[in-house]
Amino acid sequence: MERKDLKHLIDVAAGREEADLVIKNAKVVDVYNGQVIEGDIAVVDGLIAGVGDYSATNELDAEGQYATPGFIDSHIHIESSYVSPEELGRLVVPHGTTTIIADPHEIANVCGLKGLDYMIDASKETALDVQMMLPSCVPATPFEHAGCTIDAEAMEAPIKREEVLGLGEFMNFPGVINGFDDVLDKLIVAKNAGKPIDGHSPGVSGNALNAYASAQIKTDHECSTVEEMHDRIARGMYVLLRQGSACHDLKELLKGVTPTNSKRCLFCADDCQPKTILSIGHLDNHLRICVEEKIDPIMAIQMATLNAAECFGLKDRGAIAPGLKADIVLVDNLTDFTVQKVWVDGEMVADKGDYLPEIKRHDIASTKGSFKVKDFSVEKLKLVIQSEKAHVINILPGGVVTSKEVVEIARKSDNEFVYNKEQDVVKVAVVERHQNTGNVAVALLQGYGIKQGAIALSVAHDSHNIIVVGVNDKDMAFAVESLIAQDGGIVLVNDGQVLESMPMPIAGLMSDQSGEWVDARLTAIHEKAHDVLSVSPDVEPVMTLCFMSLAVIPEIKLTDMGLFDVTKFDFISIEA
pLDDT value for 571: 96
% the chain with pLDDT above 90: 92
3-state helix, strand, coil in the chain (%, to 5): 30, 30, 40
Angle of CA points 513, 515, 517, to nearest 5°: 60
Query: Please, is 489 exposed, middle or buried when counting C-beta atoms within 10 Å of its C-beta (0-12, 13-18, 19+)?
Result: buried
Q: Where are the alpha helices (DSSP H) in 305-385?
A: 306-311
Contacts of 499 (CB under 8 A, 6+ apart): 453, 492, 493, 528, 532, 533
User: Mean per-residue pLDDT for 210-236?
Assistant: 97
pLDDT at 330 over 80: yes
Q: What is the mean pLDDT of the chain?
A: 96
Q: Where are the alpha helices (DSSP H) in 409-498?
A: 473-485
How far is residue 111's CA from residue 366's CA, in Å, rounded to a whole number? Answer: 9
Pair 239, 268: CB distance under 8 Å: no
Angle of CA points 21, 26, 29, to nearest 5°: 110
Pair 465, 145: CB distance under 8 Å: yes
Q: Where in the chain is the domain with CATH 2.30.40.10?
A: 3-57
pLDDT at 259 over 80: yes
Q: Render pLDDT for 179-211 as a digit per residue (tens, 0 to 9).
A: 999 999 999 999 999 999 999 998 899 999 999
pLDDT at 391 over 90: yes
End-to-end Cα distance, the chain: 66
Pair 571, 559: CB distance under 8 Å: no
pLDDT at 337 over 70: yes
In the sheet with 570-571, reading across from the earlier edge strand, the strands are 556-559, 562-565, 570-571
Distances (CA, A) of 340 to 89, 128, 351, 355, 393: 17, 17, 6, 11, 45
Of the listed ranges 134-148, 184-198, 216-230, 272-286, the one predicted with least confidence: 134-148
How far is residue 448's CA from residue 469's CA, in Å, rounded to a whole number? Answer: 9
Band (531; pLDDT cuts 50, 70, 90): very high
pLDDT value for 66: 98
pLDDT value for 399: 62
pLDDT value for 494: 98
How far is residue 367's CA from residue 221's CA, in Å, rounded to a whole number? Answer: 28
pLDDT at 398 over 70: no
pLDDT at 23 over 90: yes
**Nearest 10 degrees: Cα torsion 77, 82, 83, 89:** -40
Element holding 153 (H helix, E strand): helix 152-155
pLDDT at 163 over 70: yes
Q: What are φ and ψ of residue 430, in 5° steps?
A: -120, 125
Contacts of 33 (CB under 8 A, 6+ apart): none
Element holding 238 (H helix, E strand): strand 238-242
Looking at domain 3-57, which of 1.10.1740.10, 3.40.250.10, 3.50.50.60, 2.30.40.10 is its CATH number?
2.30.40.10
Q: Render pLDDT for 68-91 as a digit per residue (tens, 0 to 9).
A: 999 999 999 999 999 999 999 999
Q: Render pLDDT for 339-372 as a digit per residue (tens, 0 to 9).
A: 999 999 999 999 999 999 999 999 999 998 889 9
Q: Where in the chain is the domain with CATH 3.20.20.140?
A: 77-319
pLDDT value for 400: 77
pTM: 0.93
pLDDT value for 174: 86
- Tell me whether strands 389-395 and 354-355 are parallel, antiparallel or unpaired: unpaired
Q: Render pLDDT for 407-447 as a digit per residue (tens, 0 to 9).
A: 999 999 999 999 999 999 999 999 999 999 999 999 999 99
CATH class of 77-319: alpha beta
Contacts of 563 (CB under 8 A, 6+ apart): 391, 393, 441, 443, 556, 557, 571, 572, 573, 574
pLDDT at 526 over 80: yes
Q: Render pLDDT for 43-66 as a digit per residue (tens, 0 to 9).
A: 999 999 999 999 998 999 999 999
